[in-house]
Amino acid sequence: MTTNTDLTMQFFAAWGARDVEAILACMTIDARYVNVGMSDSRGRDAIGQMLIPFVAGADRIAWTVHHIAQTAGGAVLTERTDVFVMGARTLTIPVMGVFEFQAGLISAWRDYFDVAGFQAQMA
């Protein structure tokens, strides 16, 4: 049986493949994605519009999971480091993420990270 933890790892693999269609296919049509402190996107189309330029601008994406746990209610909690190689620039972002599921798809995704640290790397 596939667990929500397995589904989360498949989602991360889609990021590593830089496959926006596969990333979005992991989400419900009405999913909500919150970059806490930055953006809040609702719906697969809106999430795609936000992700496409970021994924397209990356030469390589690698997410390293340090800790992962699934709650009794099925939410998946991840502590990870997201790395985006964008030409000569490499962004390294420590992240705590929460994933909620409905019918085997991500219905809510929240990432918590140091926004100022991310923005400094983007400057």
The residues assigned a catalytic role are 82, 111
User: How many Cβ atoms from other residues are within 10 Å of residue 106's Cβ?
Assistant: 24
**Pairwise CA distance, residues 68 & 58, whole Å:** 25
Q: Alpha-carbon distance 37 to 39, whole Å?
A: 7
Report the distance separating Cα 14 and Cα 31, nearest Å: 17
φ, ψ for residue 37, nearest 5 deg: 95, -5
